[in-house]
Amino acid sequence: MAHSSKPSGITPERKDELDQFLSSLSAWDLRYVQKRLQNVRPNLAGLEDMPPEIIWKLVPHLDLEDIITCRLVSKAWARAWSHAAVTPFLCHRFAPGMLESRPFESPSQVFATSIRQKKTRQNARFFKKFWVPWNQAWDSGVFTNVLPTPQFLQGRGPQFVHGQYPVWYADGKVAWQPRLDLVIVDDIKKMSRQRLICSTLPVPGPNQVPARGIELMAVSNQLVVVASVPPERSHKAYVWYLQETEIRTVHLPNPAVRCYAEGESFGIVTTTGEVFICFQRGKVVALDISRIETPPKSRRVDGALPAVLFHPTDRDVAFVVLAYRYYQPLAKFDANQLLWQSSASVANPVVNAVESCVDPQSLVRMQIAPKKSDAQGSYALGIYQLTSQRTAKNIGLCKCISDVWRHGDWGTISFNVLNRTFSQHYYSSPRKNLLWDSTLDSYVSEPPSPEGVVMGAHLWDEGLLLTWRMGGPLYSGDGPQRRNLGMQILHPIGGILAPRHKHPAFSSTPQSAYPAGSEEEDLSSVNDLFEAVFQDNGKALVPTARGMWICSSSKDPVPPSVSQPPKIEGGVFEQPFKEVRPEFNVVLYLTHGDMVEMPVHEIDDLR
């Protein structure tokens, strides 16, 4: 018998044995073997026979819906995707930080919990909405003060206020400030209230004057940070520990402009970009951020300041984020020692352009506002939108591209401090003409977008929550104007929740929840939205001028509420603070290839 090329998977020795065996068979034997082989199918190696290392290579290229489908193919495939060496990769890919935050559960249990939570959210077609008005009374009717009511306040009724004053939230604590001399902390878990009055702040020495006003800077479940306000704004900040009502004074070389808090730790950023940090009531130390490596092809965002991200379990660890165009440098500090650093860049969404295009550029607007996005250690480093509008200027998308963003028109960059991984998600909004520009606060006419202006963008778990308004200025020559306010949630493209990208709207009068797809509601002029939106363990908190909506998902229709927001007398609250925005919106240009810098003078012309 002539020898042919070696069949795949058969050694020469084995081939010789088979040849000898076949040559020993009679004609009847060969006919029988041929008949048997007609109904025999070779058992090739399947997914379950592959080593886990091969499956690891597949995970980054699949969406969660793909993983769920693969597990349903057969029992063998389910065992392959549930292998003990594979599930940790699935957790890191689809539930970053969740494995580290549940150290006593197996990776299989954690991944199953993650899928169950996403399925629960997928079935939630309605919103439960709870309205909390701004009531600065000793007891608000919703929150009860931890101290007994003083005799001179007994018998007083509600003291409702409204206006754009500082509001911060963390771990169940809502801190807000109705007056220059008062900060109120409401606990939405215990329904309790605490108050800080400016006159109770310590005076450092006999030659020092007490602060005449304070500005709320940050809150955690353990402390509140406030700073002195002009004209006596000195280089001092005050830390109020909520449990012991202890107040600590922090002296700074320059005025505090931004603050971050987690547990009993806090970080303060000054007007000159210095970062001071205190871990667990220890000594306040300055971090040497000059040692952080910066991207060679990008420059720092003008006016943007560093941000501090605290580790939720390691109380002596914090991360510092710098604001650069296209890149987000990030460094890990243990105490005041720099241990690790990395960076993430904006993915270029411009693809498949016409080669003959003479001006292959598109516009991206990016918000640099590091903020906690879930309960598993994730922070949103940047939120960006591909847009074709910038105030009244006709610039933006390259006209040669029929579909300029094949992955969606919104995007986010997030970082998980537990496993030190970056994530990027893309979103597609049904409202393609929403204008997002933080400089458009005082229109004298209708905004240039027919669908309204985005007031706030926030990463809620993996969903992108947008609040928006329609209409012109708050006031005109004819008096207060009515405007429409709304909210929608966009889910990542390719994710399990992507087909349902809209949530019901909220309004100034508690009503029954609207089905998904009902996006707007008429609101009175005094109910303007704040730009800040907060989230906590499945809840979204949306401040407005008259109160705060506490929203959560529900799979069942919500009955109408019988309570009504209070009628508030008087004018709109006058903001006594010089506003310092927590986020910075920058304009970036992308080419059809790599990202390029835009000349400084051209960027300034767009502002």
The pair of structure tokens assigned to 184 is: 């109120």
Number of compact structural domains in the chain = 1
CA distance 199 to 560: 43
CB 254 within 8 A of CB 247: no
Using CA atoms, how far apart are residues 381 and 369, in angstroms rounded to an integer? Answer: 6
Strand order in the sheet with 520-523: 453-460, 463-469, 483-490, 520-523
**Domain-located, residue 60:** yes
- State residue 392's pLDDT score: 28
**Across-strand partners of 155?**
none
For residue 267, what pLDDT band results from cuts at 50, 70 and 90?
very high
| pLDDT score for 260 | 92
- 225 in any annotated domain: no
90 part of a folded domain? yes
Order of strands across the sheet that contains 539-543: 126-133, 547-554, 539-543, 534-536
Provide the pLDDT for residue 207: 54
User: Smallest Cα–Cα separation from 349: which of 592, 585, 587?
Assistant: 592
Q: Give the C-alpha separation, 97 to 110, whole Å.
A: 10
Lowest-confidence region among 205-209, 329-333, 571-575 = 571-575
| Segment 177-198 mean pLDDT | 88
Phi, psi dihedral angles at 38 (to 5 degrees): -65, -30
Domain-located, residue 95: yes
180 found inside a domain: no
* Residue 562 belongs to a domain: no
Structure tokens at 5: 């090329």
Per residue, what are the HEC states of 420-480? CEEEEEEECCCCCCCECCCCCCCCCCCCCCCCCEEEEEEEECCEEEEEEECCCCCEECCEE
| d(C-alpha 595, C-alpha 602), whole Å | 16
In a domain, 162, yes or no: no
What distance in Å separates the CA atoms of residue 44 and residue 47, rounded to the nearest whole number? 10
* CA torsion through residues 54, 55, 60, 62, sign: positive
Query: Lowest mean pLDDT: which of 363-367, 425-429, 583-587?
Result: 583-587
Are 462 and 425 in contact by the 8 Å Cβ rule? The answer is: yes
Residue 151: per-residue pLDDT: 64
State the pLDDT confidence band at 233, using cuts at 50, 70 and 90: low
- Mean residue pLDDT of the chain comes to 72
Residue 223's pLDDT band (boundaries 50, 70, 90)? very high
Could you write out the three-class secondary structure of 346-357? CCCCCCCCCCCC
Residue 547, both tokens: 């109160």
Instruction: Determine the Cα–Cα distance for residues 87 and 346; give it in Å rounded to an integer.
Output: 28
Task: List the structure tokens of 395.
Answer: 């610039």
Q: How many CA atoms lie within 13 Å of 3's alpha carbon, on the beta-carbon side?
A: 9
**Rounded (to 5) percent helix, strand, coil in the chain:** 15, 35, 50
164 close to 177: Cβ distance less than 8 angstroms: no
- Which amino acid makes up residue 174? V
Q: What is the CA radius of gyration of the chain?
A: 29
Is 546 part of any domain? no
The whole domain housing 72 covers 50-117
Reported as a single tens digit per residue, the pLDDT across 27-61 is 888 888 888 888 777 776 777 778 888 888 888 88
For residues 319-332, give the mean pLDDT: 81
Question: Strands 475-476 and 463-469, how do they pair?
Answer: unpaired
Per-residue pLDDT reduced to its tens digit, 61-100: 887 778 888 888 888 888 888 888 888 888 888 888 888 8
